Structure 1
């Protein structure tokens, strides 16, 4: 809008036009130029009730409008930075919106004004820190930790519980893993796939597995074999980490696996070993994981495991023996880079 054109408009006409606008549109018009702001600001201030202010703050945090955020947080409006809609269950807060849109300037404004970094949102109980982790936004994570965001809190639903460190390990995001451990994340915190080491093994993130083992992660912990416990999946439900690394096909449930489910599992399961599985097994054994524990589980469920692999029990055990032999032959290679105090 031309400054000259605005200067020629009568103030009375501008006020008439403003009466036809929504509050958000009126605010946008106020930002157009100084003269409009001088004329319309009293009308805008009159309209911004606490309820309207809450809505505007959430909207402005989502749209990266830092000017409006600052205005709403300041007198005379002084909207609380953690204000949410009381009619909604577990509603989104402005800080969630700012973190989602990666706007660190607005997040800083909200935190400085007293926004609660531990507020949860949605069925998965997302805290702002969880959203920053999922965005892989390290600078936002550092900002939230500066304001005491809980580092080990978990999020998730339907049996899939994880925290930021679990998520980082499942993604193999080494910068995030290092940041979280440096800032005090608990290396043995449990989620759906066990500890962070269990998540790294499950998703075959070899570099993350190495790093966690070097940092002292407990190699004897167990992990869930299933993503979601819906109904009654066949046993075993919980296994040691070598078993998880081997990627053995799960025993079939009473209902056979559908082609779609089999195709989803194909990437991670079955025989024989590939290089990633072989090195994972070797690493875990080098750091003290027990072959005997794994074999105990295999022998306990030998019949359904062999059936799922379309092998006889004898054939299946020969393949298992071959898998261990390949991994054991590789232990000396993976131990080369192992810290001397771990040997």
Structure 2
């Protein structure tokens, strides 16, 4: 091996050992490896510049693993930026909150961490605390003045709490005036999220707080979602609160038809006395409704299967294309354009951000991050088709990147193609099972579309 290559490999190994020391909480070892990597820039500068492929540094790793003493050393002695972001826009505080490390999160806040900073997907530390049901950190963050109604691509903290069956967190958020009817970009509300999670305690708390039971997302009401899941107690709770059993979804189906199509007999029996007759179903009995709807479901699934077989490309390899070589100068200019785009995005000047990211893409069409960022800008501008085109191009460049899956799913969700969005989010979850943003987005897309459940259940088993 050439000397230069050998030196580079040795340096990479020291970087890995340095980051491992941050994860394990070994401050002495951390200092030792940092000293070996210092090339005269000074220890603080050296440590700040050491990042992995996802732009995560020692502070990110220490926060994620709950290594409070390492965080204290990095902040107190080296004066690192407490709000430094990784490639996904996650700060050390978000990493600590996501893993439920309360002491670490509190230390970061003591050293000036901004609890209102959100990741690229819009989620703050408060969202993660709500989803985990971490009441201690939830109350602490609220005491710091964090907005309980802050929105992410997957909704408000109350939607996260309700969607993860965290009644204590729901109660705390409602006590601090969280909006029980706040809607996400695809019309999901906390109540709908609680129904999808099968959480009767959360549902009851939200109804008491004035949550609307007859709202709809993707044409489906909470009663449609409950009927699909077959939850008798939740159906009864909704009906008692005034849910209308005769409202139809975007396909003209009532909750009883949804329940029957899913084979939920108990739900059909509860809804039957309260539902007006559907003329297309000749035998208006519990058995007659079940028989008719399951027959219709089987027919539609067969049609869908035939359509999918016809749409499979004959030669998928022909879709691949060669990527151009990009000069160092072009990469530098692309990075500068990306920086301008980030500044414009932070000012919420999304059109200017689009223009900047377009310049970056023109200079370096091989960097998927530029496409991901421009896709998000298009979403903010309500341009779903442009957002989808960029997201697809992003996934073509980096098919194993969870964020690319999220971007495509978000664009499809804005277009109300909920079943396709759910597929994209699910692919992202498979790549990154720990991403609560992807898990929440997947769940909500499934809830809004409903069809994804039945399609997934009908996949042939290997």
Between the aligned partners of 2:219 and 2:173, the Cα distance in structure 1 is 26
SS at match of 1:143: helix
Map Cα deviations across residues 72-111 of structure 1 (whole Å, 9 max, x no partner).
2125x211210235xx4x4321112222332222211211
* CA shift for structure 1 position 119: 2.1
1:28-69 Cα deviation digits (max 9, x unpaired): 77638xxxx9x9998899752335236222222223332222
The structure, 1 or 2, with the larger RCO (C-alpha pairs under 8 Å, 6+ apart) is 1
- 1:26, CA displacement in angstroms? 8.6
Partner of 1:138: 135
Higher helix share: 2
**Deviation of the 1:308 alpha carbon:** 10
Structure exhibiting the larger radius of gyration computed from Cα positions = 1
Q: Does 1:52 align with 2:58?
A: no
Match of 1:127 in 2: 124
TM-score (norm 2): 0.44
Match of 2:175 in 1: 182
Contact persistence 1:309–1:316 (CA under 8 A): no
2:71 alignment partner in structure 1: 69
1:210 aligns with 2:207: no
CA spacing shift, 1:92–1:170, aligned 2, 3 Å: closer
Shift of 1:241: 4.0
Q: Decide whether aligned partners of structure 1 residues 181 and 31 sit closer, same or farther in structure 2, where only a CA change above 3 A counts.
A: same
Q: Equivalent residue of 1:71, what SS?
A: helix
Cα 1:137–1:317 shift into 2, 3 Å: same
In structure 1, how many angstroms separate the alpha carbons of the residues matched to 2:136 and 2:123?
18
Segments of structure 1 that go 5 or more residues without pairing to the other structure are: 1-19, 225-236, 248-264, 323-343
Residue of structure 2 equivalent to 1:338: none
Q: Which runs of 5 or more structure 2 residues have no equivalent in the other structure?
A: 1-12, 50-56, 262-277, 290-462
Report the RMSD for the aligned CA atoms in angstroms.
4.2
Q: Distance in 1 between matches of 2:283 and 2:197?
A: 24
- 1:297 corresponds in structure 2 to 248
| Matching residue of 1:238 | 219
Q: How far apart, in 2, do the equivalents of 1:29 and 1:128 lie?
A: 26
Q: Is the 8 A contact 2:98 2:129 kept in 1?
A: yes
Instruction: Report the count of equivalent residues.
Output: 246
Output the TM-score relative to the length of structure 1: 0.57
Q: 1:186 to 1:50 in 2, by over 3 A?
A: farther
Are 1:83 and 2:84 counterparts?
Answer: yes
In terms of mean alpha carbon deviation, does 128-137 or 201-210 score higher?
201-210
Shift of residue 242, structure 1, vs aligned partner? 4.0
Q: 1:53 to 1:68 in 2, by over 3 A?
A: farther
